[in-house]
Structure 1
Amino acid sequence: MLTAQQLADAERHDLTDLVDSERYPLDRPDDPVLLSAIATARKDLDREGCAVLRGFLRQDRLAQMREECHELAQKSFYNSREVNAYFTADDPELPEQDPRRLFMTRTSGFVTRDMITADRIMQRMYVSPGMKSLVARCLGEDKVYEYADPYAGLVLNVLPDGTQQPWHYDTNEFIVTMMTQAPEEGGSFEYCPDIRTPQEENYEGVGAVIRGETREGVRRLDLQPGDLQLFKGRFSLHRVTRVEGDTPRLTAIFAYSKTPGVVGRLERTRQLYGRVSELHIQAEQDRAERADGLLD
């Protein structure tokens, strides 16, 4: 039977029963081992826009989390549609080679936070102050916040045989993920660090990558189940290549923000999760133009 310690608790800093505390002593924030891991992550994020904390989850907990994700995956919403890297509609007035007119097939599945109960490992990790403190320190921020979005704050991404996530950007400046199961073939994470900036979309360079005309600047990351990945996906074009085989790629996505109250865009939410809430509708009505001026 579950105890209080085994449920998601927004006041519980100690994750030693889940995380490899010898490599990542989250309960000892000033431990030299943890400070070294944070310093390395910050350097990697500054240089590449990406950092990986290898073997973050304890092996016994990884096996448990994989089982939980298998069960959750049965609830996944699958959607297949043609999208561009910006999740915007086609504009016939633009040149055909413009990346805003380059549409790719996106077929993947998601299980949203409202379906992930408080006893699940991924939910326990997501709400923990220890986890949020680690993420903030790696990013050089004073604090990070959970999404206010009832769906997108914490999701399980399910990629079975034949599915993929084509080239795209993230709405938030950074994302935290953990693959819990690797596929038999494919499912590689590829990205182009800082291919755009708040001042320049770099449509020519982005289009060349999407059309497969160049691999210059494209990185491929060797992720293993249990690794914690921090990624600045707002400015770095990225994708997950086509998955092949009977074993699906399962990834927990922990969405935090530098500011409280973040709610996903209405149309993007509908595309990804197949439904929206009143909160999404109201947020869209109240939303101001993005401060950085970039397309979503």
Structure 2
Amino acid sequence: MAQSLGQQRALQEVVDTDRYPLHDPGGAVLAAVVERARAELRERGCTVLPDFIRPEQRATLRAEGEAVAPHAHYEPETVNAYNIAVDDTLPADHPARRAMVRGNAFVARDLLPRDCLIERLYTDPGFGRFVADCFELPALHPLADPLSALCLNVIPPGMAHPWHFDTNEYTVSMLTRESESGGQFHYCPGIRSAEAENLDDVRAVLDGDTTAVRELTLRPGDLQLFKGRFSLHRVDTVTGATARHSAIFAYSERPGVIGSVERTRQLFGRVLPAHHAAAAARVRGDALLD
């Protein structure tokens, strides 16, 4: 379905539509962008679309993030790669028993202004269709989670976002403010699948084996598409005086996906009735730990 003129103008105000003409989904330019993204996602499990946001909008992107960052739930805690509670039924050498300090914080979606740049992108049907096309899917659904569907990830100096898997299969993120130094994105593409946890491989990475680890440098305004449910990933320690901010847009192939009670409490410091209801009738596409 063609977009309205109003939707096209909204996209053109935010996105560099000369390079990424989302308003022209049948055009040759966008087709070439999509094909490159698909190839990189197949090969690497990740693709980056540089300078996705117009240069004149990057200051707004940064300022909007800085305005809401003080509302982030910040409570450093000991976690594991699956963000699950650990009980005595797991073997002593299980990767979930590898403890790490999570020092990043999240601003939940219900604390973001409805007219902010990242909200406008997330709710734009042309943007959603483009993301689905890049992932070679007929459609993608925004996460139904009222807190984690769209959020701002804040990593202050001296802290990191340690190794973890995402709840959602398809993660789209955008750096909104880069750190002075540090804050590199590391990932292990396809280290597990919907059918297999591959615990030995995950354990090896957590124990320091870098064979499967790739490193990625991101810049503000770059759009990153990533298969985060199946790729172990982290942001290493931020150094210098500037916190690292990134927007996280979450999607799933199935409608109705909501994060677990335990993970939501860890990330946002609170749980809503929707999370408790989802725990009783969980909508998930696999039986992975989390």
Q: For this structure pair, what is the TM-score category when the shorter chain's length is used for normalisation?
A: over 0.9
Query: Which residue in the other structure is 1:133 paired with?
Result: 129
> Superposition pairs for residues 180-219 of structure 1, below 5 Å?
180-212=176-208, 214-219=209-214
Task: State the match for 2:43 in structure 1.
Answer: 47
Whether 1:280 and 2:247 are equivalent positions in the alignment is no
For 1:133, the aligned partner's letter is: R
Percent identical pairs in the alignment equals 47
The range that moved more, 273-282 or 90-99, is 90-99
| Cα shift readout 1:218-251 (whole Å, capped 9, x = no counterpart) | 1001111110000001111100101112111000
User: Is the CA contact (8 Å cut-off) linking 2:8 and 2:23 kept in structure 1?
Assistant: yes
Counterpart CA distance in 2 for 1:291 and 1:175 is: 15
Does the 8 Å CA contact 1:179/1:225 hold for their aligned counterparts? yes
Where does structure 1 differ by over 4 angstroms across 4 or more consecutive aligned residues?
none
Superposed displacement of residue 260, structure 1:
1.5
Structure 2, gaps ≥5 residues long: none
How far does the alpha carbon of each residue in 1:60-118 deviate from its partner, in whole angstroms, 9 at most, with x for none?
11111101111111111102111111112234454433212101000111111111112
Secondary structure in 2 aligned to 1:256? Answer: strand
Shift of 1:291: 4.2
Report the 3-state secondary structure (helix = DSSP H, G, I; strand = E; otherwise coil) of the residue aligned with 1:183. Answer: coil
2:155 corresponding residue in structure 1:
159
CA contact (8 A) 1:169 1:238 kept: yes
**Alignment RMSD:** 1.5
- SS for the counterpart of 1:253 is strand
| 1:122 and 2:118 aligned | yes
The CA distance in 1 between the partners of 2:230 and 2:201, in whole Å, is 13
Give unmatched runs, 5+ long, in structure 1: 1-8
CA distance in 1, matches of 2:188, 2:164: 10
In the other structure, the counterpart of 1:295 is 289
Aligned to 1:267: 262
Change (3 A) 1:192 1:277: same
Distance in 2 of aligned mates of 1:264 and 1:100: 18
Counterpart Cα distance in 1 of 2:87 and 2:199: 14
Letter in 1 for 2:54: R
1:183 shift after superposition: 0.5
User: What is the distance in 1 between the residues matched to 2:142 and 2:92?
Assistant: 39
**Cα separation, 2, equivalents of 1:106 and 1:130:** 34
Paired residues, what number?
A: 285
Cα displacement string for residues 200-233 of structure 1 (whole angstroms, at most 9, x for unaligned residues): 2121111111111x11011001111110000001
TM-score by length of 2: 0.94
2:238 to 238, 243, 253: 243
Separation in structure 1 between the aligned mates of residue 28 and residue 81 of structure 2, nearest angstrom: 41
Deviation at 1:46, TM superposition (A): 0.8
CA deviation digits over 1:141-184, x for unaligned, max 9? 11112222111111011111111111110111110000011101
Residue 185 of structure 1 contacts residue 243 of structure 1 at CA under 8 Å; is this kept in 2? Answer: yes
Match of 2:99 in 1: 103
CA distance, structure 1, for counterparts of residue 30 and residue 43 of structure 2 = 20
Judging changes above 3 Å, is the alpha-carbon distance between structure 1 residues 95 and 154 closer, same or farther for their aligned structure 2 residues? same
1:16 paired with 2:20, answer no
Hey, what's the Cα distance between the residues in 1 that align with 2:85 and 2:254?
Answer: 28
Deviation by residue 1:22-74 (Cα, 9 ceiling, x = unmatched): 10011111221111010000011111110111110001111111011111111
